[in-house]
Structure 1
């Protein structure tokens, strides 16, 4: 089990988009960001396209680093997000919808995420998403957990 790289106390829920350390809360992120140093990662190898007609579509795994795959959430658990009344209620807020659009359309998504994480509403949204996904993982039977 991992612990927060900032406070060394709680289980981390988030990963710094710049240096990839794990942290547990907004407070830890704020303490960390002053000393954050970017980690240089090798450029991911993108599959070569030999001929446009016969190529298979890329998968997410083709574009992710090995560390990123560890954080991948199975589709079954992601689908629970669409069934959450709490999440739908949060998404009724036009300010949150605008924040999500700005992160999605940003050229530098890591900077946009840093800015969004300063907004308590965005943090509440992120926490709710994690709660939905993580609570489902805790309630799985052992057979279902093995499948994931």
Structure 2
């Protein structure tokens, strides 16, 4: 268990230059066994959508453009692709039914969102840090999916 937490910590330190203080928050984000990542993933989704829409709003683009950005950037397929790109699956604790099989896109997507929320909570709700993490993950603009 400590090894996966350390891998997740190293990932966040390397990618976002953020040192996690609370291992319990990090564990909540990467542990699919308890289902607790769903709570933190819900918060992460809202944070990610806020960053996307805050950037969109200042452009003056149409609502349709904002909706398209949300769908493209924060969609399950894109977030799962981002998780795979960064090797996030290596430090996820899968639930019992996932042992020995590749993690599904929903689990990968939820973990990305949960990591965003864990950093937000762990940092004392620092939105600048959330923005930095979102950018470092490559979630600031739509991209072609593999």
**TM-score after normalising by structure 1:** 0.24
**TM-score after normalising by structure 2:** 0.24
Q: Which has the higher contact order (CA 8 A, sep 6+)?
A: 2
Which structure dedicates a bigger proportion of its chain to helix? 2
